[in-house]
Amino acid sequence: MKIDGEKVNGVFEKRLNRFVASVKINEKSENVHVPNSGRLKELLTPGARVILQKALNPHRKYPYDLIMVYKGNTLISIDSTLPSRLLASELSKKKLLKLDYDCVKTEVFYGNSRFDVALGNDGEIFYYMEVKGVTLVEEGKALFPDAPTRRGAKHLIELAKAKKEGFGAGIFFVVQRDDAEIFSPNDSMDENFGKALRVAANAGVELFAYSCRVTQDEVVLLRPLPVEL
């Protein structure tokens, strides 16, 4: 997926709230939008090199989005809106999953949840999928979540319900960096999510994880990762 727009380099200073951070650009401190409500405490540290995307709307309150950060030499995408868009785009090419479908829908309701992606034939949905962006990697292991998430466990319960009712169901972890070798639920951060993931897997919900190649101008799925429960 191409990352359009003007990019500038910056140095992270501090998080002001969930969606705003202070970044130094050309030796001047600037408040910027952070398109990720996660903690990101392992990544957004004072002095970290970051990539900013200039907003298309010149009248917007914050002129830049903080879309990427370096951890050492590894460039990491932190835009939480990117994974679902990236996956929908890849699924539209019909090269990712061995499923027969003629349409890809996004933001589809099922039960009490709204799933990121649904696949269908002749207008009838037969497969629901939730997409999760992953930014945390420790010793080669991609971990989700990086903060407790009730919503994540709820989605897994709904996916298991969909599977029981005869639909296909899956969860796709998009690891927004290239240095992961394996994926696991982050039990030390959110034990309930890990339990829900294992229950869903036992119910037949499919688990997918892919790493990404990340550059300033493009983020693409790189390779599938084994899922270790």
Tens digit of pLDDT at every position of the chain (229 positions) = 999 999 999 999 999 999 999 999 999 999 999 999 988 999 999 999 999 999 988 889 999 999 999 999 999 999 999 999 999 999 998 878 888 899 999 999 998 889 999 999 988 999 999 999 999 999 999 999 998 888 899 999 999 999 999 999 999 999 999 999 999 999 999 999 999 999 999 999 999 999 999 999 999 999 999 999 9
Model pTM greater than 0.75?
Answer: yes
Distance CA 152, CA 143 (A): 14
In the chain, where the domains are located? 7-77, 82-224
Strands 74-77 vs 64-71: parallel, antiparallel or unpaired: antiparallel
C-alpha span between 214 and 209 (Å, rounded): 16
Does residue 48 contact residue 9 with C-beta atoms inside 8 Å?
Answer: no
* Rounded-to-integer distance, Cα 134 and Cα 146, Å: 8
CATH 3.40.1160.10 applies to domain 7-77: no
Tell me, which fold does domain 82-224 have in CATH? Trna Endonuclease; Chain: A, domain 1 (3.40.1350)
